[in-house]
């Protein structure tokens, strides 16, 4: 009896320590959690499951079973290697925070906490919470980056199903045309929300049913399949309803409830009938710890937040906006045939050469304070409801690489060829991903300029690549000559 009371007292004491550790971690990395919280409380968006997931993760870490009365933290194993990796990862978070690459700093939260735990309590203890902790990845804003591939996959599958049942339809990218109308598989129809919720429920099923690692992986794979299937069936059902009702059904404009009801009907039976195994009850012990490891873990954990606190952004002298070459007709009302990135902050210069059907545009952004991103957030560079990308390649059109893209307007043979490149604080890039990564050296060097250069050529049926390359080089060298 005394032994049980001893274990219970130690259990309560150590759980308080674990709660304190979690609290310290959240406080030190509060900027990342505040940004996440802002997304989690938007109940109608893709991360509305974030707060329940956070509660489940914390509860899982607090209640995990150590399966032994011994912990490797007392033996001092792994403290130095894990602390060095923790230090490097924390500093990486600090740099990402300084340059405002939010997705990187949020993704680093999971490995930072795992390494923090491993340094303080030992690798054995850290591995035992890995499954619970990894659930937090499903509450991070990674789903925006999956929307485009999920939309493309949904379009392929739904097009196949429509062909099988014999509905007369024509598919162009994410657009499906039936005799009575046009159905667009937009980003909101990607199924990312269904996939995320399905994976969360599969995680919980694996934890509650006593699955081993292989069974948990199988449950996650099944959850992935069912989450995708639910979205495909939803889109296919809407096409059938639209075809039968000649697009007059109210579901064609408001199908939010319909989608979740269908999702529940598909997923919940599989969870209810999933096999469960009896979980052996053992004395639950929180991880053991020693004061030197605690101090070492807290010191390394504080490195990233410390450099953020000490950093201060001092803007360079204000850079004048770049002017278009004088040979181009400058008109702020001129818009590119395929409209590109546009946000409120920034300066846009547009022009064209009417005799060559060449359109040019420069978007210029200037970082003026520490709270601004150098490269703004861009969701979609063009209107996917109107345009298809037929071809894209990286070319040497100027002194740096650029992306050449061929667009075709849906339902027509009208095409637009585009050359585009980016400049982040003097570092050139052919893609927006490269431009975002260039923020690291640019901001650390105190540079505050970000520019997007876009040249488009209108054509019909066939576009001449050489014509656009020549136009791009002409624009680039004139721009350089007149603005130096």
Q: Please name the residue that has the structure tokens 């195994």.
A: 277
- Give the model confidence (pLDDT) of 189-208 as tens digits: 788 888 888 998 888 888 88
Q: Which of the two residues, 9 and 462, has the higher pLDDT score?
A: 462
Lowest-confidence segment of 84-93, 102-111, 341-350 by average pLDDT: 341-350
Question: Model confidence at 421, in pLDDT bands (50, 70, 90)?
Answer: very high
- CA angle, 68 then 72 then 78, to 5°: 150
Q: What is the CA 239 to chain-centroid distance, rounded?
A: 29
Note the pLDDT tens digit of each residue in 307-328. 888 876 555 556 677 877 777 7
For the beta carbon of residue 357, count every other beta carbon within 10 angstroms.
Answer: 15
**Which tops the pLDDT comparison, 148 or 482?**
148
Does residue 7 register a pLDDT over 70? Answer: no
Q: What was the pLDDT predicted at 3?
A: 55
Q: What is the largest CA-CA distance in the chain?
A: 94
pLDDT digits (tens, 9 = 90+) for 153-175: 888 888 888 888 888 888 888 88
Beta-strand pair 329-330/181-184 = unpaired
Please state, as a whole number, how many other Cβ atoms lie within 10 Å of the Cβ of residue 277. Answer: 10
* Residue of 397 and 59 predicted with greater confidence: 59
Residue 159: closest CA among 150, 177, 147, 171? 171
Q: State the Cα–Cα distance between residues 112 and 93, nearest whole angstrom.
A: 9
How far is residue 431 from each of residues 393, 400, 405, 421, 437, measured CA to CA in Å? 11, 12, 12, 7, 10
Average pLDDT over residues 249-261: 81
* Percent of the chain predicted with pLDDT > 90: 16
| pTM score of the predicted model | 0.81
Distance between CA 212 and CA 346 in Å, rounded? Answer: 53
Q: Which residue has the tokens 């919940």?
A: 268
Task: Specify the residue for token string 């499951």.
Answer: 49
At residue 413, φ and ψ (nearest 5 deg) are -105, 10
């Amino acid at each position: 009896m005394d032994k049980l009371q001893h274990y219970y007292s130690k259990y309560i004491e150590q759980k308080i320590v674990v709660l304190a550790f979690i609290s310290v971690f959240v406080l030190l990395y509060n900027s990342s959690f505040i940004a996440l919280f802002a997304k989690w409380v938007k109940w109608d968006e893709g991360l509305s499951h974030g707060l329940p997931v956070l509660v489940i993760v914390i509860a899982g870490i607090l209640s995990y079973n150590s399966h032994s009365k011994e912990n490797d933290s007392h033996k001092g194993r792994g403290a130095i290697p894990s602390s060095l990796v923790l230090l490097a990862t924390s500093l990486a978070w600090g740099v990402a925070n300084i340059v405002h690459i939010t997705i990187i700093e949020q993704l680093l939260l999971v490995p930072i906490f795992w390494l923090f735990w491993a340094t303080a309590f030992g690798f054995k203890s850290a591995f035992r919470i890995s499954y619970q902790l990894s659930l937090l990845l499903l509450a991070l804003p990674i789903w925006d980056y999956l929307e485009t591939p999920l939309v493309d996959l949904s379009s392929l599958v739904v097009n196949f199903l429509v062909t099988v049942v014999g509905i007369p339809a024509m598919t162009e990218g994410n657009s499906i045309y039936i005799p009575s109308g046009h159905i667009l598989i937009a980003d909101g129809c990607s199924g990312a929300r269904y996939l995320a919720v399905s994976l969360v429920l599969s995680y919980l099923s694996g934890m509650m049913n006593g699955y081993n690692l292989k069974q948990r992986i199988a449950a996650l794979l099944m959850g992935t399949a069912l989450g995708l299937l639910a979205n495909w069936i939803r889109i296919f059902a809407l096409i059938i309803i639209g075809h039968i009702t000649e697009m007059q059904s109210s579901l064609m404009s408001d199908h939010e409830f319909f989608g979740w009801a269908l999702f529940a009907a598909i997923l919940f039976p599989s969870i209810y009938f999933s096999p469960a195994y009896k979980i052996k009850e053992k004395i639950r012990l929180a991880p053991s710890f020693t004061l030197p490891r605690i101090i070492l873990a807290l010191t390394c954990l504080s490195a990233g937040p410390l450099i953020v606190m000490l950093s201060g952004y001092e803007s360079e002298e204000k850079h004048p906006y770049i002017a278009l070459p004088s040979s181009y007709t400058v008109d702020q009302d001129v818009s590119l045939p395929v409209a590109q990135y546009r946000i409120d902050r920034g300066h846009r210069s547009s022009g064209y050469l009417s005799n060559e059907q060449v359109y040019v545009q420069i978007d210029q952004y200037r970082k003026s304070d520490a709270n601004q991103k150098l490269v703004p957030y861009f969701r979609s560079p063009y209107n996917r409801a109107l345009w298809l990308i037929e071809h894209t390649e990286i070319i040497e059109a100027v002194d740096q690489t650029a992306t050449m893209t061929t667009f075709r307007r849906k339902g027509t043979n009208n095409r637009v060829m585009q050359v585009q490149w980016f400049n982040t604080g003097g570092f050139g890039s052919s893609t927006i991903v490269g431009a975002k990564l260039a923020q690291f050296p640019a901001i650390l060097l105190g540079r505050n300029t970000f520019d997007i250069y876009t040249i488009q050529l209108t054509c019909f049926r066939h576009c001449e690549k050489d014509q656009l390359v020549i136009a791009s080089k002409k624009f680039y060298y004139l721009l350089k000559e007149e603005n130096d």
